[in-house]
Structure 1
Amino acid sequence: MDMTERVAELSAKLAQQKASIETEEATKNAFVMPFIGRVLGYDVFNPSEVIPEFTADVGTKKGEKIDYALVHDGQVQMLIEAKKVTEPLRLEHASQLYRYFSVTNARVGVLTNGQTWEFYTDLDEPNKMDAKPFLVLDLTAVDRTLLPELAKLTRDSFDLDSVISAAGELKYIGAIKRSLAGEFREPSDEWVRFLAARVYGGKNITQRVREQFYPLVEKAAHQFLAEQVNDRLKTALGSEVSTEPAAIDQATPARTPAKSAPVGETETARGTRASEITTTEEELDGYRVVRAIVCSEVAATRVVGRDTKTYFGVLLDDNNRKPIARLWFNRNQRYLGLFDENKVETRMPIDDVEDIYAHADQLRKTVAGYLARAGEQN
């Protein structure tokens, strides 16, 4: 598996097991150690690579322990402090990590609850851990642009100089992206005031004007994101680039008109039909959830999305004869279409994309069935 698939595998595991994890130790066993082993590539049972309960005296504090120290080339390079998965990370959680950072050779500190992984270094002041992380990875909403940077921290590709040199840019780009994401979800007064001032004809942006513009900014933000997604899909459909499943999967789930359009339909007609289809961000989120779930059975690149006017289909190998799921989201009541061994669809009502995880076993069973009939090992 490559980095993307390993992260997706752990993401699916997190979604399945998070609700049953109640302690810090259980979090370490279920999520933290698998991340160290599967994603970062360290042997968690080899004390020359991973030191659990690492101890270093810090000033007057003797015998304090940090959860894990990762060793590379005989030197401690990374410190990891873990909290239980049900507890959101807070600044005070990093206090012990902060103290240890200054008395070891480690240049990377990691704070995690198994779901969110915050990576710190010493950009602001040498040998003193920064107050803000340079990289934040959330396994429930993985930002793929961060995976190449995460790869630099793996055992086989450990490149501290490269990580440190890129950390400053990552830190501020990440902060800006999180800020923008927050504004798109829930516009702040400052954001509404700024945009209103750019388009409003009046001289003063009063409280009444801000209240008037708040829902407009919120609606415009959602429409803008949807249009960006659709533009990418239209560009992909209009190009002559190969639409093999892997190529589609690496960008955005796309439709393949040649397979879904009626026989004999012209290329112009196909393009017209495709332009009438609007793929929503919610459908894309649902597709990503299904793919994360079934990647335990098959490579993620083989799971392909194809939209239609009535539903968003998720297929194995971009093959209509191998449907994994259908997302019936173009209605007030959303449904998840599941398939049995005879490819008979059953629509299950869901309220939110997250509800798809409740049907993980059936989705995996469907994929496993296709593989078994094809004589493949899952």
Structure 2
Amino acid sequence: MELNTQLKALADKINQLKDKIETEESTKHAFVLPFINILGYDTFNPTEVVPEFTADIGLKKGEKVDYAIFENNEPILIIECKNWKENLNIHNSQLLRYFHVTKTRFALLTNGIQYQFFTDLDEKNKMDEKPFLEFDITSLKENVINEIAKFHKSNFDVNNIVNNASSLKYTKEIKKFIQEETNTPSNEFVRLFANKVYSGRLTEKVLEEFKELVQKGFNQFISEKVNDRLNAALTKEAEKQLEDQVEPIEEDIRVITTEEELEAYKIVVAILRRKIPVQRIVHRDTQSYLGILLDDNNRKPLCRLHLNGNKKYIGLIDSNKNETRQPIETIDDIYQFENELLETVGFYEVENS
């Protein structure tokens, strides 16, 4: 069975059982040991997976880490487990002490759902404070599965993982920084961009104005980039939908989806895919507007695009599913309503909760 299939099966099991798991010991047996098995290690072989591995610290004897995975009689990964309900960020200091007194290059802190992998990039034989690989097993992405695969028994190579760990760690930190600055731009970040486009003195008032501009510009740039990448993926689907719409032309020649409507649809997808999967965002054409629906359900309108008249509008949907039309000059103006569009998705999430 492929690794991604096994991980998906474990994620499904966790979602089904977690509310019934009360203790750290139950978390180990139900969630963590199956993960170790997925990595190809025999949890019933005490020479390969050692439970309660002794990691004496100076004069403090009898310190034990929950599991140690061995290869050629040497520990290659130590694992500290917590109850699935616990926050891992308050426990890494304990694992740091264990790491220091073992010969391993890798340590894993997990509550069976959140996984944090550490190594010693900053200072040899001393565990880094921040993990180089971190994920939630119930929402894995393909690139993360590829990193997990490097810890599989059949692939395990210390040098390969360490060399890649540096890239993973700093890329993760950069992405975190970008996300924070995009959500709440700091004065330093705003000043960096304002200095490039504004020739006047950057007073506190000007900086405050540029905060909103930088945030909007950054979000629009990201949305446009996503939209560009979506174009290729959606072209075939759009062509197929056009063919399907052309077939009943004899019955109703008035309903034809235009290229502009399809481009506008892609912009809406680029915005909403930040919150919901692309495949859930469906367009359905009518005589008077192009409707964008959640799950192809008429009772779940996300917005309506009125583009075929002399004036163009986007129809925004409120919590009562009432439409409010907002005028737009071009379809690029749709980006100005990203907050409203994302808020509409939230209405349906509340309905389903």
TM-score normalized by the length of structure 2: 0.71
Where does residue 53 of structure 1 map in the other structure? Answer: 52
Unaligned residue ranges in structure 2 (runs of 5+): 250-255, 284-290, 304-316, 322-343
Counterpart of 1:276, as a letter, is: A
Change beyond 3 A, Cα 1:209–1:327: same
RMSD: 3.6
Query: Is the Cα–Cα contact under 8 Å of residues 238 and 262 in structure 2 kept in the other structure?
Result: no
> Is the 1:123–1:168 Cα contact (8 Å) retained in structure 2?
yes
Give me the whole-angstrom Cα distance separating, in 1, the residues matched to 2:5 and 2:222. 26
Q: Does 1:174 align with 2:183?
A: no
Q: 1:213 aligns with which of 210, 226, 234?
A: 210
Q: Does 1:231 align with 2:228?
A: yes
8 Å contact kept, 2:120–2:127: yes
CA contact (8 A) 1:186 1:218 kept: yes
Q: Is the 8 A contact 2:182 2:215 kept in 1?
A: yes
Could you say if the C-alpha distance between residues 207 and 7 of structure 1 is closer, same or farther in structure 2, counting changes exceeding 3 Å? farther
Structure 1: distance between partners of 2:199 and 2:6: 52
SS at match of 2:112: coil
Give the aligned partner of residue 67 of structure 2. Answer: 68
C-alpha contact (below 8 Å) 2:242/2:257 kept by paired residues:
no
1:331-355: CA deviations, max 9, x gaps? 33399xxxxxxxxxxxxx9847876
Q: Does 1:153 align with 2:139?
A: no
Going from structure 1 to structure 2, the CA distance change for 1:23 and 1:184 (only over 3 Å counts) comes to farther
Aligned partner of 1:307 in structure 2 is 282
1:246 — aligned with what?
none
- Corresponding position of 2:187: 189
Question: Does the 8 Å CA contact 1:72/1:155 hold for their aligned counterparts?
Answer: no
Closer, same or farther in 2 for the Cα pair 1:11/1:279, shift >3 Å?
A: farther
Q: For 1:262, what is the secondary structure of its paired residue?
A: helix
Q: Which amino acid aligns with 1:227?
A: E
* Structure 2 residue 276 is the aligned partner of structure 1 residue 286: yes
Q: 1:129 aligns with which of 104, 127, 130?
A: 127
Asked if residue 222 in structure 1 is aligned to residue 219 in structure 2, the reply is yes
Counterpart AA for 2:172: G
| Paired position in structure 2 for 1:275 | 263
> Does the CA-based 8 Å contact 1:102-1:128 persist in structure 2?
yes
**What amino acid is aligned across from residue 45 of structure 1 in structure 2?**
F
1:28: which partner in 2?
28
Q: 1:44 — aligned with what?
A: 43
Aligned-pair identity (%): 39
Determine if contact 1:121/1:134 at 8 Å carries over to the other structure.
yes
Q: What code does the residue aligned with 2:216 have?
A: K
Shift of 1:14: 4.6
In the alignment, what sits opposite 2:252? none
Q: What secondary structure is seen at the aligned counterpart in 2 of 1:155?
A: coil
Partner SS for 2:88: coil
- Tell me the equivalent position of 1:332: 318
1:201-245, Cα deviation, whole Å (9 max, x unpaired): 3222x221222222333333332232222111112344xxxx6xx
Q: In the alignment, is the contact (CA less than 8 A) between 2:119 and 2:127 conserved in 1?
A: yes
Corresponding residue number in structure 2 for 1:376 = none
CA offsets 1:115-168 (integer angstroms, 9 cap, x no match): 332211122222221222222223465453333222111122112120011112
1:242-280 deviations in Å (ceiling 9; x for gaps): x6xxxxxxxxxxx453146435479x9775543131204
Deviation at 1:78, TM superposition (A): 0.3
Match of 1:164 in 2: 162
Q: Per the alignment, in what secondary structure is the counterpart of residue 70 of structure 2?
A: strand
Distance 1:357 1:109 in 2: 39
The one-letter code sitting in structure 2 at the alignment partner of 1:287 is: P
Query: Structure 1 residues 180, 13: CA separation in 2 closer, same or farther (over 3 Å shift)?
Result: farther
Answer whether contact 2:8 2:138 (CA < 8 A) is retained.
no
Q: 1:119 to 1:352 in 2, by over 3 A?
A: farther
- Once the two structures are superposed, what CA deviation does each residue of 1:28-55 show, in whole Å capped at 9, x if it has no partner? 33432333233x2333333333222222
1:114 maps to a residue whose letter is G
- 1:252 alignment counterpart: none
Query: How far is 1:184 from its partner?
Result: 2.2
**C-alpha separation between the residues in 2 aligned to 1:36 and 1:82?**
12
Q: Offset of 1:79 from its aligned partner?
A: 0.7
Higher relative contact order (CA 8 A, sep 6+): 1
- Determine helix, strand or coil for the equivalent of 2:52: strand
The count of corresponding residues between Structure 1 and Structure 2 is 302
Q: Structure 1 length normalisation: TM-score?
A: 0.67
How much has 1:108 moved relative to structure 2? 0.4
Q: How many Å separate the matches in 1 of 2:346 and 2:129?
A: 38
User: Alignment partner of 2:91: what SS?
Assistant: helix
Highest CA radius of gyration, 1 or 2? 2
Matched with 1:115 is 113
